[in-house]
A = this chain, B = another copy of it.
Amino acid sequence: MTTRKKETFHDLGLGTKTGSSKVRSLNKDGSFNVVKRNIPLTERLNVFHSLVTMPLSHFIVVILSAYFVTNVVFASIYLLIGVEHLTGIQADSTFEAFVEAFFFSSQTITTLGYGRVAPIGTMANTVAAIESMLGLLGFAMATGLGYGRFSKASSKIKYSHHAVVAPYRDINGFMFRVVNPQSNQLLEVEATVSLSIKRKDSAQRDFFLLELERSKVVFMSLMWTIVHPIDDKSPLYGMDEQTLNALEGEFIITMKAYDESFSQTVYSRSSYLASEVKWGEKFVYIYQQEPGVIALDVSRMDETESAALNT
């Protein structure tokens, strides 16, 4: 079997010794099934990264909370200084004064400044001057964060639900399909496919880079069927479905492309477990006959039909 191994990654960054078996190294959505223990908080923390990558709903909650808390803090400061240093306050109780101060604070931090309530005297004016500048800087930061969030190119490459082992020329091939469902153009699309299998007598895993019929296309305007020909140099050569399942095979896919809309390089990852590979099936032909244009029925990208394998 050694001679069949074209290239061996010793851990591919995923670790050769993956502890318990039956563990997937890459989740279906491309995230890593790994966890790092005992990293000091200060090394792990990256505020900007967190704010940019957290879900939109969390981001909104964070922004609104920060706004609310800041206004509470400044309202308290104005109250401490004394509401008599704010003109136009209409309040009969400390609570009402706090509420007025809270709204005055919100009008200051957003640089709204209606002026119905306005600071008078050095102390209140100083706090207001600081608050308005903090507000501008804060919203400047929010602008940057918002831009960071929106401008992150999100390559949503869609993978076929199953991979297949189908006849390919006069041998067989491991195949799956990818589609770019969005209107962004992906250019210079590269695919890398690795196979991870368990060593027979240990908990260790070996990683093999699979040679592809074509590892790069100039543009991916429609669909791309990625094919690994199972020739005598392939680690899959001579294997059948039972063997691959027994070895807990996992196919790890990495794709890289240039997203023209965002002028950015984007990456996408996915994996197929041995149980997600259909042997003796092939993908159906889904180009449609339409006048003057090349059409593709994306909703049928997962459809397969039976096909006798070459032996």
Contacts and interface: CB of A to CB of B under 8 A. Distances in A.
Interface of A: 9-15, 17-20, 23, 25, 32-40, 43-44, 46, 48-50, 52-53, 63-64, 67, 71, 87, 90, 99, 103, 106-108, 110-116, 118-120, 122, 125-126, 128-129, 132-133, 135-137, 139-148, 150-154, 156, 158, 179, 181-185, 187-189, 192, 194, 213-214, 217-224, 254, 256, 258, 260-267, 269, 285, 287-300
A133 to B, nearest CB: 6
25 contacts: A11-B224, A13-B222, A15-B287, A17-B285, A19-B295, A20-B291, A23-B292, A23-B293, A34-B221, A36-B298, A39-B181, A39-B298, A39-B299, A43-B156, A49-B261, A110-B132, A111-B113, A113-B113, A113-B115, A114-B118, A144-B151, A188-B256, A194-B218, A219-B254, A263-B266
A23 B148 contact: no
A138 to B, nearest CB: 9
A135 B19 CA distance: 52
Question: Which residue of A10, A263, A288 has the most chain B CB atoms within 10 A of its CB atom?
Answer: A263
Question: Which residue of A64, A119, A142 has the most chain B CB atoms within 10 A of its CB atom?
Answer: A142
A33 B34 CA distance: 37
Contacts of A158: 43
B290 A35 contact: yes
Contact of A184 (B46, B129, B144): B46
Contacts of A267: 187, 258, 260
B141 A139 contact: no
B296 A34 contact: yes
Given A9-B214, A17-B285, A188-B256, 9 more contacts: A106-B133, A112-B113, A112-B128, A112-B132, A144-B146, A144-B151, A194-B218, A219-B254, A258-B265
Contacts of A296: 15, 34-37
Contact of A219 (B14, B220, B289): B14
Contacts of A219: 12-14, 32, 254, 269
A53 B143 CA distance: 20
Contacts of A220: 13
A114 B146 CA distance: 28
